[in-house]
A and B are shown apart, each in its own frame.
Chain A
């Protein structure tokens, strides 16, 4: 397949120059071209905060937003990538696992604190956040294990059929979430399936801190999300590169049949990877519920995020998932902040187009993704 794609992937000089020009212009625009909004009117150079040179604090905040979003993306997408890399299973229910994890953690936190819907962060202890997160990850891990053992074990290699099966499962889970969650709703309001609910961070985390040297006021919770993303990355790396199970997984990614021929029980490794991958989706959901809310419909959104990250970064590569998350997180954040804002409705709501542009740029030059291996 390598030669095949390389032979077709010959991209001429003109597209390369055009792509480089486009990226260069975007960077220049952010650094110098953009202007802060004038008193009245505005033109194509007008952005909400101006260029990085005009207003480096806004630039730094946008950068931090991008990085913290990337950490969150990585938590979810690394699980997706792990499952795909080892088993070639595109788990279309990954977004549903995200949502399920968020809702389960919410319910447990509600019943632990007994505070009712409008839970204040200051009344939540660390344990009252960690315990729901652990339970949610375990429960969704078990759900993932059941899905893998019952529906995906006997049809290995039939990639499309497995994708269809996980789509069917995601339809069922999405509907069941609407049927059963949220259980705790505010006093006096009508219980409506799949409503948006949010968790609370522990009290010490939900504050704003002043970053040293810069004087920027920033949410500690967002920095914790970044920290958690990095931790997940480090732990996954250590697991894959420093333990026996990890070695078997890497061997399985390289050559599934040869690994099992050597007497390794590849099925148990598949099961472990699926549990970890699903639990990571759930953990992402817990983070999502704490950062904002979880609501019915976000499953599709997070499936998209996971897909974009692994398509950009390359399937089944931890480094690829990290690079994809970083790139997508930054593009997402900067597109929303640095698109021109002339008039009332132009143009920041076109930010979603940049997801497509990023995808197009990467795929035009590397159909297998930045760190993807072919075959």
Chain B
């Protein structure tokens, strides 16, 4: 371990304070804030963390994470809901044991992630982005058109069937909040741990020097495939939480809009650091939530349109001003304040530029 510098200390203090605030959440915030803003930020943060993990440590910007979330949600929804007095549900209505369904949903999504990853493992940079975007749109259209799995209308009431160790989350929203918080913490630690394992270090090496790593004997496509599967596993956790939080799952939940929203979250937070996932999710949801109320019903003054124009403009500004997001801004402020040698921060743009030159 290297010595702790001032920045790391400050970051850790902030982290502990935030964790304490989060742990006391139900006492500090009203129900609306807790359920709509904080729980949603936590679960979208988990999904964004899977995106940022791939991007920061693998140079792979994936747009398929929302689709993987949706796939997990659909698997759970199809396996767990029952037809009966609660009303006929859409989909397969298998009515399986919730614990079994939960495990199966996560496993199936991870396997689908491995298949996606195997196919994309030899695509780099912008090609990878395009390929994962096609995954996302195909998954969306698939669940929109295949009526056996639910079709165009949502599978509802999924959160009524939860394993006993999860308990009643449909009405006890504080419980769901704590689950989301716990899963977030576990995911954060898991990703941090993953990046320190030999696998994680090799993965980061492949990001910087794929040719060198290949000639050193590392199976480059295999590492990228496995990392994508790992990210799919994390995204599936977010997907399960999402469907518990939302109560239902529909093709629209994995459409182009939510896909881009997740990318916006990751970019606001910063594609270079895992912490950015939750920061970005929180910022995005707060902006989203308050801009909606701020926009009059007839559309925005002057430009017309709805709140998405504002979201788009915020996104555009961040990409232009600080392409590595809020965490990148934070890093740069510290760098500028200190002006010491230190290891240089890896920025998204420089890495992309490096990839551009090495591929030509």
Give A residues with C-beta under 8 Å from B.
1, 4-5, 7-9, 88, 90, 151, 155, 157-161, 163-165, 167-172, 174-176, 178-180, 193, 299-301, 303-304, 307-308, 310-311, 315, 345-346, 349-353, 355-356, 359-360, 363-364, 367, 375
Contacts and interface: CB of A to CB of B under 8 A. Distances in A.
Interface size grouping (class) on chain B: 35 or more
A8 B221 contact: yes
A355 B140 CA distance: 13
B44 to A, nearest CB: 17
B304 A176 contact: yes
A167 B134 contact: no
Interface string B122-143: 1101110111011101100110
Contacts of B309: 171-172, 175-176, 179
Contacts of B141: 304, 352
B138 A300 contact: no
Q: Which 8 A-B pairs have the closest CB atoms?
A: A179-B305, A179-B304, A171-B312, A300-B256, A172-B312, A175-B308, A168-B316, A304-B137
Interface of B: 61, 119-120, 122-123, 125-127, 129-131, 133-135, 137-138, 141-142, 145-148, 210-211, 214, 220-221, 255-256, 260, 263, 267, 299-300, 303-309, 311-313, 315-316, 319-320, 323, 348-349, 352-353, 355-360
Given A179-B309, A307-B134, A352-B142, A157 B119 contact: no
A303 to B, nearest CB: 8
27 contacts: A1-B359, A1-B360, A151-B320, A158-B352, A158-B356, A159-B126, A160-B61, A160-B348, A161-B323, A168-B313, A168-B316, A171-B312, A172-B313, A175-B309, A178-B305, A179-B300, A179-B305, A180-B304, A180-B305, A304-B141, A346-B148, A350-B142, A350-B145, A351-B145, A352-B138, A353-B138, A363-B123
Contact of A364 (B119, B138, B320): B119
- Among A7, A180, A363, find the residue whose CB has the most chain B CB atoms closer than 10 A: A363
A299 B137 CA distance: 12
A355 B138 CA distance: 8
A88 B356 contact: yes
B contact patch SS: helix
Contacts of B137: 300-301, 303-304
Contacts of B133: 303-304, 307
Contacts of B129: 90, 160, 163
A204 to B, nearest CB: 35
Contact of B348 (A8, A161, A180): A161
Contacts of B146: 349-350, 352
Contacts of A176: 303-305, 309
B323 A164 contact: yes
Nearest to B252: A297
B352 A167 contact: no
Contacts of A168: 312-313, 315-316, 319
A165 B320 contact: yes
- Among A4, A168, A176, find the residue whose CB has the most chain B CB atoms closer than 10 A: A168
Contacts of B211: 4
Contacts of A308: 134
A176 B311 CA distance: 12
A360 to B, nearest CB: 5
A169 B126 contact: no
A162 to B, nearest CB: 9
B308 A171 contact: yes
Nearest to B313: A172
Contact of A161 (B134, B210, B308, B319): B319
A160 B308 CA distance: 22
B142 to A, nearest CB: 5
Contacts of B120: 363
A307 B357 CA distance: 23
Contacts of B267: 164
A203 B63 CA distance: 44
A170 B319 CA distance: 14
Contact of B263 (A9, A167, A179, A299): A167
Contact of A159 (B125, B145, B306): B125
Contacts of B315: 164, 167-168, 171
A352 B141 CA distance: 7
A368 B123 CA distance: 8
